[in-house]
Structure 1
Amino acid sequence: MTRTPQFFNLLADKEQSYCMSIAVRAGDFVFIGGLTAIDNLGNEIHADDAALQMKRIYEILGQILHKFGGTPQSIVSETIYYSVDDDTFNETLFPHRQAFFGDVGPSVAGMRVVSFTSPAIRVETTAIAYIPEA
């Protein structure tokens, strides 16, 4: 059993420049934060399409969960930050969440925000997963 946190980076150089890790395992929990729609080089994508950003975020979240041996059902809590109007969130972003989690999802909080650190970002998520250590 690991007693010290394990840090995980998707893009180590970029994450180090922000003094962060995209995920950290602490015991049986994996804390995942700051997910935005980026490509494999860390470039922001889909600046004009929040729905495609949401879809990409869940693809990245799936990759992170897989790295730790988890699945979407391992997520126990999620926070979604969005800058689109509530109707757009419900009609175009939420279906991607539903497709990722299926019929049973984790606890969730949504927060409409004024802006993000980049004007290209429309959606950002954080999550906590419960993935017991082997």
Structure 2
Amino acid sequence: MTKTSAQFFHLIPDMEKSYCMSLAVRAGDLVYIGGLTATDDEGNEIFADDAGMQMKAVYEKMARVLEIHGGSSKDIVSEMIFYGVEATEFEESMFPHRQKFYENTDGPSVAGVQVAGFVSEAIKVEVTAIAYLPQ
């Protein structure tokens, strides 16, 4: 059996380098997607006052990462959502974007965690996921 090296993927190289991270890492048949927040293509935070739009932006970014790796929302097998708003706001303004992203799929295993805060006060949500994409 031949060991293959992990493949590191950068969508916003300068920002990711400054945080010592990779937006996604392929290891065999799995693509680990981590630390997705609502940022523009330069890594600037967007929608600071709108948690719903942040959630939408996160899933748009996840879709881009998946597409680059030949996948889609149906390939996500595990997801972790960290949100910094009250549960009611999550359910009303954020959850509909998640429902739309996973529309017509069985949906992954998921855990949601309400957090006290993030590195920046502008961040309202951060999502990590694992996709199964056989090579």
Q: Scaled by the length of structure 1, what TM-score is found? A: 0.96
Q: Secondary structure at the match of 1:47?
A: coil
The number of aligned residues is 133
Structure 2: gaps (5+ residues):
none
Q: Secondary structure at the match of 2:48?
A: coil
Q: How does 1:87-126 map to 2 (within 5 A)?
A: 87-103=88-104, 104-126=106-128
Task: Give 2:133's aligned residue.
Answer: 131
Q: How does 1:40-79 map to 2 (within 5 A)?
A: 40-79=41-80
Task: Give 2:20's aligned residue.
Answer: 19
Structure 1: gaps (5+ residues):
none
Q: 1:2 to 1:36 in 2, by over 3 A?
A: farther
Is residue 33–residue 129 contact of structure 2 (8 Å, CA) maintained in 1?
Answer: yes
- Which whole-Å CA distance do the structure 2 matches of 1:67 and 1:132 have between them? 14
- Which whole-Å CA distance do the structure 1 matches of 2:88 and 2:44 have between them? 27
Task: Give 1:80's aligned residue.
Answer: 81
Structure 1 vs Structure 2 CA RMSD = 1.1
- Which whole-Å CA distance do the structure 2 matches of 1:60 and 1:117 have between them? 19
Percent identical residues? 56
